[in-house]
Amino acid sequence: MDKAKLRRHIHQLKKQYSSEDLRNKSLKVIEQIELSSSFIKAETIMCYWSMTDEVFTHNFLVKWHDKKTLLLPVIKDNLLIIKQFKGEKLMKPDSRFGILEPIGKEFTNTDKIDLVLVPGVAFDKNKNRLGRGKAFYDKFLPKLICPKIGICFDFQLIDKVPIDKYDIPMDFVISENFSLA
């Protein structure tokens, strides 16, 4: 299956679940993340402010932002940059996707990032990731030397994700019932 067809297929699967179902599934994913040694040891974590069809991260970010340095992606000039999350009140909607983004200055010291939690449309048993097709993460992830954890729902784990030379594999993938290391 090519990337476009796979994205449509996963989109159809997501439609089978209510928002409440996805939130409940998200709780299991977040619980596994919080129990992982990578998370426990990490002081600076890059995450994302979830869209409605992604593993829900809002409560996780609010819970941990006073205990760890949390960074979120911001799209600027078709590139992904990162800014520190300092609470929901210090965020504004972006103009392209309507996703809340932190306000403030860009965080540029990527060597300080201990862990990155990466959303995706689909992941496979070899920890390959299929994104939304804009390559924002694929351009950014090579700058990082920390572990990369792909997070998703069980139905987003498939046998084989189509990849090309620019796609960045994950070090781990966590879903509500599976963990691939």
**pLDDT tens sequence across 24-80:** 999 999 999 999 999 999 999 999 999 999 999 999 999 999 999 999 999 888 899
pTM: 0.95
Token pair 């000039």 is found at 77
pLDDT at 96 over 90: no
Count of C-beta atoms within a 10 Å radius of residue 111: 11
Give the model's confidence band at 157: pLDDT under 50 very low, under 70 low, under 90 confident, else very high: very high
Count of the separate structural domains present in the chain: 1
The H or E element that residue 150 is part of is: strand 148-151
**CATH code for the domain of 120:** 3.40.50.10420
Residue 172: the pLDDT is 97
Q: What is the pLDDT of residue 94?
A: 83
Is residue 95 over pLDDT 80? no
The pLDDT score that the predictor gives to residue 99 is 86
Domain enclosing residue 41, as ranges: 3-180
pLDDT in the model for residue 98: 79
